[in-house]
């Protein structure tokens, strides 16, 4: 009820969804320890959407946030990409795990 999930308009993988809080939140830099339950729910929703769309290998998933100033919008959104093993060259750079611009 408090989260929305939809397909990314420029997918970086065969399955690329954004999980977004319905209530406005800034970017991931504004997250604090009290937001841990929210982020966990966002990840749970991402996994559930993948499973509903017939993707079951949850070990081949990349989830994360773009770190400012590398965000295109200033509303918290979790990228859910799968299969991570099929990310193209550019997507592997843009969504690289724990890079300076994308935190998982």
Decide if 60 contacts 39 (C-beta within 8 A): no
Q: Which of 15, 16, 66, 77 is catalytic?
A: 77
Is there a catalytic annotation at residue 77?
yes
Grouping H, G, I as helix, E, B as strand and the rest as coil, residue 40 is helix
Alpha carbon distance 88, 86 (integer Å)? 6
Please give the Cα distance from 33 to 87 (Å, whole number).
31
Three-state secondary-structure class, residue 90: helix
Which positions are catalytic?
77
């Amino acid at each position: 009820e408090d989260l929305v999930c939809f397909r990314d308009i420029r997918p970086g993988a065969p399955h690329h969804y954004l999980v977004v809080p319905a209530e406005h939140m800034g970017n991931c830099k504004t997250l604090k320890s009290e937001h841990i339950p929210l982020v966990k729910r966002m990840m749970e929703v991402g996994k559930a959407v993948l499973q509903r769309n017939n993707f079951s290998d949850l070990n081949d998933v990349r989830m994360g946030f773009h770190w400012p100033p590398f965000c295109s919008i200033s509303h918290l959104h979790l990228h859910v990409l799968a299969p991570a093993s099929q990310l193209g060259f550019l997507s592997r750079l843009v969504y690289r795990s724990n890079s300076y611009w994308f935190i998982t």
